[in-house]
Amino acid sequence: MVAATLRSILRRNSLLPLFETCRLRDLLFFSSYVDIAFAVCGTTSPDPHFVMEYLVNSCGFSPSEVAKFSKPITYLRSTDKPDVVLNFMRSQCFNGVGIRKLISWKASYLCMNVEKNLAPKFLFLLDLGLLESDIVDVILKNHVILLLNVHHSFVAKLEMWESLLGSRELVLKHLKKTGWFFFFSFEKTLHPNLKFLRDECGIPEKRASLVLRSHPQLISQKPESLRALVARADELGMPWLSRMFVRTLMFSKWGLNGICKTSCCVDQDYHCEFCVAVHEFLILQLSSASRILE
């Protein structure tokens, strides 16, 4: 059943071209094994508390850990679906630590349909050029991917970021190293921020794109936070049309934290005053430099 579905997906979907023969054969073989395991190995228990025992025995959680996140799946009375999901995740190079992280974040992942929800996402990520080890890292950092519809949401977000950053390689680079890439709404966050920078601040898209390639988090913050950064840079005298304005926003957002982390002051009051003073001095220096360059 699973194998047939995977083959059907690959045949009818132009967005998911064929993969290397050996890799596809391995996935389909596993899917066939899952069908058999689902039919033969699943067990049913009348014990209303068996979910805790199952997670302790099959995943290595402690009872206290299970109590914190298992409420959404306490209705389960069968190990059928969880068994299939766990076997699939292990076949995709997830170790015990990674599996526990996913389940503790969202226990209902154990109830997902492998052939309809999980397998297509792994196949799609492989088609993008990610290695199995990369896919594990990407999902652990952006586990919301498991909830996205591949064609309606995943592809749309991927294409949007590709247009902003300029290349698929940069998108994959940030996808592998950041834990927020697919969490933010284009309609509620990214688009309003881009529109604000372009229409109200007068920043050309090309200039903004250069900064976004290394700091895409600039447009992923709340719109009100970005406006506050712009207001702060304006107070410090940084011209909006300066070529350094967008970089100053990034420095304003991250610079103070960086300065404070590298400071070794013991006196906390002095420490805070020192950080703020150094931060504002550097911003002023950037502002002065921008005027010279302009």
pLDDT of residue 214: 84
pLDDT of residue 249: 76
For residue 25, give every residue at least 6 positions away whose Cβ sits within 8 Å of its Cβ, in sequence order, or none. none
Beta bridge partners of 78: 44
| Residue labelled with tokens 């069908």 | 35
What DSSP state is assigned to residue 216? G
> If you write DSSP's letter for every residue of 145-206 in order, what string do you get?
GGGS-IIIIIHHHHHHHHHHHS-HHHHHHHHHH-S-TTTS-IIIIIHHHHHIIIIIS---HH
Query: What predicted TM-score, i.e. pTM, was given to this entire model?
Result: 0.65
What DSSP state is assigned to residue 116? I
What DSSP state is assigned to residue 197? I
pLDDT of residue 35: 47
What sign has the CA pseudo-torsion 154, 100, 48, 118? positive
Question: Angle formed by the axes of helices 21-40 and 2-12, to 10°?
Answer: 140
Per-residue pLDDT of the chain (294 residues; tens, 9 = 90+): 444 444 454 444 444 444 444 454 454 444 444 444 444 444 555 465 889 999 999 999 999 999 999 999 999 989 999 999 999 999 999 999 999 999 999 999 999 999 999 999 999 999 998 998 899 999 999 898 999 888 888 888 888 889 888 899 999 998 888 877 777 888 899 999 999 999 998 888 888 888 888 888 888 889 998 998 888 877 777 777 777 777 777 765 554 444 344 444 444 443 444 444 444 544 454 444 444 344
